[in-house]
Chain A
């Protein structure tokens, strides 16, 4: 399973390296969202500052759904998903490999985006390790749910429209918790942040577990 995880992860990162879709399309898109929120909320720093965590996480959510769509379309093009079945890859390995690769890509995006948000929303990034832990845990949960629904809808022609409807309600706890940890971190209330970290961890663990168990049966459907 770990060999397959590594193989899939390496392959997905290689595809990203060759196409630069995430770095040249999704990252700029996230930047645009943050700037647009800036316009919508007005130039008053007193209003911008408390909104910064929420804006950051919304931009991450939208980027995540693009990332999931992209990650699935790589497998759907020219029957690669059948190829994976024929080559005997372990389904849990496929899930974990794609999860790792996408989490990696998104973490890169989040680093850039957090700096940008801090700059244009006028906040100082404080409690560094709390931010890092929250971002990692939240991203794992988001990507796990996204990939689960992605493969659930892999074979259907309505993937683009149905995925957001299924994805966003389920990950709403991540949005709440992610925003809260960020607020706590920026206000240097580290202790309040820890509870939210636990929630993010539980969420991620639940959906990674469901993914490992159910990716096999779902892949057979695709």
Chain B
């Protein structure tokens, strides 16, 4: 309801369409540049082309969870408490889980030919997998029906619990590995991969394109949630009238 009064609908629609357009063009360009313009790597061959999507996907995952954390804090802070923060947090976590899933898949596809295995207990990889499961749980919690305010408070605290856990997990896994003396995996980013000018530009384009995609998806999901919220408010008004009718 309040989103309607804040911005006129048509303007929001225009922003959303523009974002979607930028995202689409950006993605198409990234695909085109990544597959055609840039050269294959001396050692990695065509596999190196995954570099244009894998890091941007991971980046989007991080900003999505960061956004989830900040909006959850904004909800918990009494002065800025507003159900719209909660909806934004939920929307961002959903997009984040999707992108983290894609990060894991692309990472695996990369890992198989590059390292000879689908999975390795690398700290970053392991932390990402845990991140995925953590926020799956968070989304499952959000699905438990309840009064919107109670659900929002509960979700915000759960978001806090999950977010604070991430660095602890990372350090734990890092030390866990370092004690094991496992064979060091060749990191293709730092090892012998010469990033050409065209490659750097394409990677940058990838970051921009995926960030725009994130913003676009976040916006759509948030507005969908806002519509649901509006429908719920209408329901409550109706239910109140029905309840009063019972008394006549």
CB within 8 Å of B: which residues of A?
145, 148-149, 152-153, 155-156, 158, 162, 165-166, 169-170, 172-173, 176-177, 180, 192, 195-196, 199, 202-203, 206-207, 210, 214, 217-218, 221
Contacts and interface: CB of A to CB of B under 8 A. Distances in A.
A56 to B, nearest CB: 17
B160 interface: yes
B interface, how many residues as a size bin? Answer: 20 to 34
A169 B134 contact: yes
A170 B173 contact: no
B87 to A, nearest CB: 18
Given A153-B141, A162-B140, A210-B164, 4 more contacts: A152-B158, A162-B137, A173-B172, A199-B168
15 contacts: A153-B144, A166-B137, A166-B138, A166-B140, A166-B141, A169-B165, A170-B165, A172-B130, A173-B172, A192-B179, A199-B175, A207-B161, A214-B157, A217-B153, A221-B146
B220 interface: no
A171 B161 CA distance: 11
A166 to B, nearest CB: 4
Contacts of A165: 133, 136-137, 140
Nearest to B172: A173
Contacts of B140: 162, 165-166
B157 A199 contact: no
Chain A contact surface mostly: helix
Nearest to A217: B153
B130 A210 contact: no
- Of B153, B158, B168, B175, the most chain A CB neighbours within 10 A belong to B168
A156 B158 CA distance: 15
Interface of B: 130, 133-134, 136-138, 140-141, 144, 146, 150, 153-154, 157-158, 160-162, 164-165, 168-169, 171-173, 175-176, 179
A173 B161 contact: no
A210 B160 CA distance: 9
A170 B176 contact: no
A206 B141 contact: no
Nearest to A189: B179
A156 B168 CA distance: 29
B162 A170 contact: yes
